Amino acid sequence: MNKVNPKDAQLVSDHLVQCLRDSVLVFNQTQLVHWGLLGSKFYQIHLLTGDIQTEMVEGIDNIAEHIRSVNLLTPISVTDLLSSRIQDIDLTDPFDQDKIILDLSTAHDLLAGFFEELAKYSGMIGDDLTQDLAVERGRVHKKNQWHLRATMTYMTPNKERTDVEEGKS
């Protein structure tokens, strides 16, 4: 078996713990949208974000348990835990539904990308268990961003909003 460069192993370890931090932030953002979005899409988004939160609780726990199983430390304080690479979502206008949904879907997409990086790096050092975890978490967050974006209102060229086009007189 080939020896792993300690710097490469540390890069994977650091990235794994950072993915946990980023996941917790996106979970909290999802929860804030679940509680705070107002308007015509409230119920649809409330149900969707509820489902996403339920899945994320188990996913975050799996990440933390994996971190501990490979003898790494999880974040040691709330401040440390919430040290994320993902920008916070602005909910000061809870009726700006499409902007909030787009911001949340972007957060899930960024998180998916971070897990894709983790999968690549862990694969390069032969850490199959971390790679499998990263691939699965990336897949889940890609799905989440797709589900969120599917609820958005899109403008088409020379037309009004697609969700109200049928109701035009």
Write down the residue that tokens 């304080």 correspond to.
Answer: 77
pTM, two decimals, is 0.88
CA atoms within 13 Å, Cβ hemisphere of 102? 7
The pLDDT confidence band at residue 1, using thresholds 50, 70 and 90, is very low
pLDDT given at position 162: 53
8-state DSSP, 85: S
Segment 38-62 shows an average pLDDT of 97
Cα gap 102→154, rounded to integer Å? 11
pLDDT digits (tens, 9 = 90+) for 34-44: 999 999 999 99
pLDDT digits (tens, 9 = 90+) for 119-135: 999 999 999 999 999 99
Q: Is 155 helix (H, G, I), strand (E, B) or coil?
A: strand
Cα gap 37→91, rounded to integer Å? 8
